[in-house]
């Protein structure tokens, strides 16, 4: 989930894009989120703010908090609660990133040394636990049991998605359906919760809560599908970001699943050698990308992403037109455009 880098690198060559507009719309609230994040990652135990600061401050466009803030604004809410809860969402996200990097044995995050590479796996696990606990403390201070329900459930679903990913990793027989379940859990559940919380603080009826939940879920699926395509994309390479991390780890993502299903026996043997046995040689990554291109696996991963993007767009249909709604819809296109 090298999530925010892609957005960042993508942004550098674009004109004022959807995220910039979103950021501008909720500007003051986002500044407050950043303030709350810095305040609440403090601890007398020095290593905690050091390590947390490394990953939190190192960048990221705060996509998930932006979704909470924009959703809240679209629901007519302008009070203090949205920034606080957006900070909770970012803490939960950061905790999962810290644990992900341990689980994936990643040495890099957003182009810099990952926290586990600098401070070790142990500290990353424990500081992740701290941020996760702190998120719940902040939610308790907010006082809404409904928000606590949404975010505790999302957290459990994220963990289930991550465990499922662990179980399917290196298994080329993973179905597209199983892969979808993984990304719904590990990525989309928090997007969904981030948006839903906006409706809750806005005091909006259930139907709007559900609509924002559906928007976030499908946006999250779109986002992750494109992220997985980008890991094999030449465009990604021209942006200066490493390509092939998923390949080297033997991660089974949709581009692989499609190429495998559409390939012949010899090709399947290639995927099994490289991703199941993780016996890789020079040139294997290039060959993998060639196979994906031959079978339209990347193009069709983007097409699948566009499908979920369309569902996300329609989910917002019940909300009146306005700048936040427009900006949220533009985020869908922004995610998909990264993939071309």
Residue ranges in contact with a copy of itself by CB under 8 A = 43-48, 96, 99, 102-103, 121-123, 125-127, 129-130, 132-134, 136-137, 139-140, 143, 145, 148-149, 152-153, 155-156, 158-160, 162-164, 166-167
Provide, rounded to whole angstroms, the least separation between the CB of residue 92 and a copy of itself. Answer: 9
Provide, rounded to whole angstroms, the least separation between the CB of residue 277 and a copy of itself. Answer: 18
Token pair for residue 220? 């999250």
Provide, rounded to whole angstroms, the least separation between the CB of residue 194 and a copy of itself. Answer: 16
* Residue number with CB closer to a copy of itself (54 or 134): 134
Provide, rounded to whole angstroms, the least separation between the CB of residue 278 and a copy of itself. Answer: 15
Return the closest-CA partner of residue 188 out of 219, 229, 148. Answer: 219
> What is the C-alpha to C-alpha distance for residues 83 and 6, in angstroms, rounded to an integer?
24
* Spatial contact of 80 and 66, defined as CB atoms under 8 Å apart: no
* Residue number with CB closer to a copy of itself (217 or 331): 217
Provide, rounded to whole angstroms, the least separation between the CB of residue 164 and a copy of itself. Answer: 5
* Spatial contact of 238 and 340, defined as CB atoms under 8 Å apart: no
Return the closest-CA partner of residue 195 out of 73, 102, 298, 305. Answer: 73
Provide, rounded to whole angstroms, the least separation between the CB of residue 82 and a copy of itself. Answer: 19
DSSP string, 269-311: HHHIIIIIS----TTHHHHHHHHHHHTTHHHHHHHHHHHHHHH
Where are any strands of DSSP class E within the chain? 108-109, 112-113
> What is the C-alpha to C-alpha distance for residues 85 and 39, in angstroms, rounded to an integer?
14
> What is the C-alpha to C-alpha distance for residues 332 and 337, in angstroms, rounded to an integer?
9
Provide, rounded to whole angstroms, the least separation between the CB of residue 219 and a copy of itself. Answer: 22
* Residue number with CB closer to a copy of itself (118 or 159): 159
> What is the C-alpha to C-alpha distance for residues 314 and 217, in angstroms, rounded to an integer?
13
* Residue number with CB closer to a copy of itself (45 or 303): 45
* Residue number with CB closer to a copy of itself (131 or 256): 131
* Residue number with CB closer to a copy of itself (9 or 213): 213
* Residue number with CB closer to a copy of itself (134 or 204): 134
Return the closest-CA partner of residue 46 out of 121, 109, 138, 123. Answer: 123
């Amino acid at each position: 989930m090298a999530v925010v880098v892609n957005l960042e690198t993508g942004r550098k060559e674009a004109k004022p894009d959807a995220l910039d507009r979103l950021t501008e719309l909720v500007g003051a609230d986002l500044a407050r989120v950043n303030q709350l994040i810095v305040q609440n990652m403090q601890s007398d135990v020095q290593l905690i703010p050091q390590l947390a600061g490394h990953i939190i401050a190192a960048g990221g466009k705060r996509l998930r908090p932006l979704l909470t803030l924009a959703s809240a604004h679209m629901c007519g809410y302008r009070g203090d609660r949205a920034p606080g809860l957006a900070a909770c969402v970012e803490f939960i996200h950061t905790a999962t990133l810290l644990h992900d990097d341990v689980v994936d044995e990643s040495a890099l995050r957003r182009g810099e040394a990952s926290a586990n590479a600098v401070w070790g796996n142990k500290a990353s696990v424990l500081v992740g636990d701290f941020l996760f606990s702190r998120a719940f403390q902040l939610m308790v201070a907010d006082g809404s049991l409904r928000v606590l329900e949404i975010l505790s459930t999302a957290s459990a679903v994220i963990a289930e998605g991550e465990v499922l990913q662990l179980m399917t990793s290196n298994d080329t027989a993973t179905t597209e359906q199983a892969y979808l379940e993984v990304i719904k859990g590990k990525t989309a559940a928090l997007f969904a919760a981030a948006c839903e919380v906006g409706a809750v603080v806005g005091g909006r009826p259930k139907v709007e809560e559900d609509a924002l939940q559906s928007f976030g879920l499908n946006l999250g699926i779109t986002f992750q599908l494109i992220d997985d395509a980008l890991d094999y994309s030449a465009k990604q390479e021209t942006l200066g970001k490493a390509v092939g991390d998923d390949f080297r780890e033997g991660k089974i993502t949709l581009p692989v699943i499609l190429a495998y299903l559409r390939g012949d026996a010899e090709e399947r043997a290639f995927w099994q050698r490289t991703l199941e046995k993780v016996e890789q040689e020079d040139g294997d990554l290039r060959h993998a990308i060639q196979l994906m291109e031959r079978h339209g696996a990347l193009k069709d991963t983007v097409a699948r992403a566009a499908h979920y993007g369309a569902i996300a767009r329609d989910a917002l249909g019940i909300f009146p037109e306005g700048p936040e709604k427009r900006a949220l819809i533009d985020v869908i296109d922004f995610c998909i455009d990264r993939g071309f």
